[in-house]
Amino acid sequence: MSTPTPSTAAALLARAADADARVRRDAGSQPAGFLAVLGCASAGLFLAQPVADGDRGVLAAAVVFGAAVLGAVLVLVIGRRSTRYGFSRRFGLAMGAWAAVFAVGLAVGTTAPGLAHRAAFWVPLALLVAVPGLVGAWRELPR
């Protein structure tokens, strides 16, 4: 393999810069939208818990949550173009933080006696479960 000349190296660097600019320009906002919907839908599900009227109310809130997340997943998968550098790491962190708060909050809230209809438990938890998705969405917005 031969050593590139300064002009060849400059041309290769220019092509790399053009490719980087194209990826940044073409990176869609679908991941940001997905994370925002996930955070807001999760908060809505948790806010519905203290006012849900029995199992039917909880089921209705879960169906709305599932439909919102399914729609966001479809938009994410179907409309996805390129992603920004570091997407996998940021997305994984946001999803991991969301999953931890969601799972622990839902497990404690639905199994601990007396918490099922206590707004003092569910409202702060709703805000907490929305944070990873909303912060992740803000980080994924195209710049």
Splitting the chain (143 residues) into consecutive groups of 10 residues, what average pLDDT does each group show? Answer: 79 83 72 93 94 86 95 84 80 95 93 86 96 94 73
Which residue has 């203290």 as its token pair?
50
pLDDT of residue 116: 77
pLDDT of residue 68: 96
pLDDT of residue 126: 96
Q: What is the DSSP letter of 132?
A: H
One-character DSSP codes across 29-71: SHHHHHHHHHHHHHHHHHHHTTT--HHHHHHHHHHHHHHHHHH
Residues 103 and 91: their CA atoms lie apart, in Å, by: 18
Instruction: Report domain extents, the chain.
Output: 29-140
| pTM of the predicted model as reported, rounded to 2 decimal places | 0.79
